[in-house]
Amino acid sequence: MKELNHKHIIYVHEAIVECTKIYIVLEYVDGGDLFNVLDVEDSFSEKKTKIVIAQLASALKYIHSRNIVHRDIKAENILVKKNCDQNFCIKLADFGLATQATDPLYDMCGTPAYMSPETIKKVGYGVKVDVWATGILMYFILSGYLPFDNDNKGPMIAYHEIVHFEPEFSESCWPGITTEARDIIEKMLKKNPNRRLTSEEIMQHNWISIPT
């Protein structure tokens, strides 16, 4: 994290090492995490969701260009800054599972509800696991619920559902959501990572540029 400097990534000012403790001085972010914000608001408008996804994609493009994979993208690891140059500003945080991805990775880690199929199948994965998790996050932000309920079903059933997942958009849960928004979610949630969007392609998708 000390090597990273991006406006949508939490900044590390200093790390102080003592004999038995390490103190990490982070940038102060005053709005709590995205999960708590969503808990209050239930779900976001498409316009507000677009701001979150565009800013997150910008942060991912930055770390992916350095072959860094976060591996734990989720609402709880995105902090919200109240006073910034935009109405809503996010900061990607918690790089505890981040690592270099110059070669395929095989260890199964992350938050189960956001894990990609290739992570679960242990066939080797790279930075596009972050794109899958971003698709799950966008699904969650717009609908107000995660597609995989690990708490009630248990992880093994959830893993089976993830590997065979196809996004569905029922009108009862997705009223008024545009075709473009559904399209970008589908393209972020391609089970084959070779067919999945890159973080840069998320930013280039027409949903990001279309006014809402």
Q: Is the dihedral of CA 134, 11, 62, 112 positive or negative?
A: negative
Please give the Cα distance from 169 to 153 (Å, whole number): 21
**Three-class SS of residue 206?**
helix
The amino acid at residue 106 is: Y
Q: Is 72 a catalytic residue?
A: yes
Which among 13, 136, 4, 129 has a CA at the least distance from the CA of 76?
A: 136
**Three-class SS of residue 80?**
strand
Contacts of 124 (CB under 8 A, 6+ apart): 104, 105, 106, 118
Terminal C-alpha separation, the chain = 34
**Three-class SS of residue 35?**
helix
Q: Which one of 39, 72, 85, 103 is the catalytic residue?
A: 72
Question: How many Å separate Cα 158 from the centre of its chain?
Answer: 19
The amino acid at residue 117 is: P
Q: Quick check: 32 and 80 in contact, CB under 8 A?
A: yes
Residues classed as catalytic: 72
